[in-house]
């Protein structure tokens, strides 16, 4: 089975309505190419800034959520709607990824599990935990194209989460993300290729575009990586759209040639082995 994926790489402004309009315009322009899935980047709807997250946070079912479901229904596509700040019923704020089906109904929701708290010598310092709370769920959901996994940006650096998604049946993993000018050149492509090779899944990483006027400089380079680890497509840092057709049969083909998942030694994968 083939699936056509469109990745919309935009630079988010401080105007939430304008950001949604930009997504709507891009999806209108994509109709002629008839994508099956449209993907957005992390925090596509607001500046990537810890102070902004509480200010822009909305509950599930809020205006942004309804607008995204409406876009999915209007265009009849799966919409991996990047992430948005979510105001939980507990009063906490989460970095939350939503996926909507072609009928506009929500198919999946993932709260970023690993918060981006880093202090890179000579590079980026950022603390999402200043205003965000971490999620605690492994997210795999069913689609007409088979099971898909969903995680957010920093989550991709943790192979345990990637493996759990694969073991729960994920054949495609969607990753709204926003690496920066420090981590992007070093680790963006490396992380996506490593997780794809380890778990023999398609990996789809969608970023925001670089805006040098913003406080946070997104790396861009939205990417699609095959179960063999090949980079099927990759953008540069500029705003734009990338359309890639993937062959889902490649998952079974690669797993048959290199039976990594079935060859795992779960009889010895125990922490007490090393005590």
d(CA 29, CA 70): 16
CA atoms within 13 A on the CB side of 145: 26
Rounded CA gap, 162 and 198, in Å? 9
CA distances, 214 to each of 14, 48, 209, 260 (Å):
10, 8, 11, 42
Active site residues: 42, 112, 153
């Amino acid at each position: 089975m083939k699936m056509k994926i469109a990745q919309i790489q935009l630079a988010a402004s401080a105007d939430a309505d304008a950001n949604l309009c930009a997504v709507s315009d891009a999806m209108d322009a994509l109709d002629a190419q008839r994508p099956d899935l449209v993907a957005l980047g992390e925090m596509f709807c607001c500046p990537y800034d810890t102070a902004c997250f509480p200010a822009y946070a909305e509950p599930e079912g809020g205006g942004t959520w309804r607008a995204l479901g409406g876009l999915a229904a209007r265009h009849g596509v799966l919409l991996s709607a990047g992430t948005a700040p979510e105001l939980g019923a507990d009063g906490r704020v989460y970095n939350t990824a939503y996926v909507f089906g072609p009928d506009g109904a929500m198919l999946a929701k993932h709260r970023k599990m690993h918060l981006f708290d880093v202090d890179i010598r000579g590079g980026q310092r950022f603390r999402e935990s200043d205003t965000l709370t971490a999620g605690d769920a492994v997210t795999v959901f069913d689609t007409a194209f088979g099971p898909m996994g969903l995680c957010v940006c920093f989550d991709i650096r943790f192979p345990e989460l990637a493996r759990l998604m694969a073991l729960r049946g994920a054949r495609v993993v969607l990753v709204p993300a926003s690496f920066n000018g420090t981590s992007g050149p070093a680790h963006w492509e490396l992380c996506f290729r490593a997780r794809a090779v380890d778990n023999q899944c398609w990996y789809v990483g969608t970023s925001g575009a670089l805006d040098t006027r913003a406080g946070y400089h997104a790396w861009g380079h939205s990417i699609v990586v095959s179960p063999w680890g090949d980079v099927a497509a990759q953008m540069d840092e500029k705003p734009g759209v990338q359309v890639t057709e993937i062959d889902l049969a490649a998952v079974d083909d690669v797993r048959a040639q290199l039976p990594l998942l079935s060859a795992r030694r779960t009889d010895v994968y125990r922490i007490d082995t090393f005590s």
